[in-house]
Amino acid sequence: MKGLSASIIKTLITGTRLVCDDNSGAKELMIIGVLGAGSKRGKYPKAGIGDIVIASVKKGKPEMIKKKVKALIIRQKKAYRRANGMFVCFEDNAAVVVNDDYLPVGTDIKGAVALEIAERYPKVAAISSSKM
């Protein structure tokens, strides 16, 4: 897996609610775990752009509610620094539902996707409307 070219500040912890920005049937997700995050007593696992999280579907189609899914973080509110020195931040925290092979479940992403996602996950970038 390709490394990220930016230094992402990880600010999304367990319990954070995210907008699900694809057409998989989920509307709102809540983070319940972070894949690959080490654990330390008294500290929450953190996630940022490009991380895979385990999430619970809170709003959406009735068959999707209360399901545990894997999701990829595509936007975060907290500003992060790219390699060229530019700081980037988005209006909301958003994710897309992915399967076990990290391929998107939905066929369309409504909002913008960070350029770091386009580098690491080209299939997700292919179905997005814009890259920022």
pTM > 0.75: yes or no: yes
Does 4 reside within a domain? no
Does 59 reside within a domain? yes
For 81, the domain range is 12-131
User: What is the per-residue pLDDT for 54?
Assistant: 97
Q: How many domains does the chain have?
A: 1
Q: Using CB atoms within 10 A of its CB, is residue 105 exposed (0-12), middle (13-18) or buried (19+)?
A: middle
Does 77 reside within a domain? yes
Structure tokens at 74: 């595509």
State which residues of the chain have pLDDT below 70. Answer: 1
Does 3 reside within a domain? no
Write the pLDDT tens digit of every residue in 94-108. 999 999 999 999 999
Does 38 reside within a domain? yes
- CATH code for the domain in which residue 43 is found: 2.40.150.20
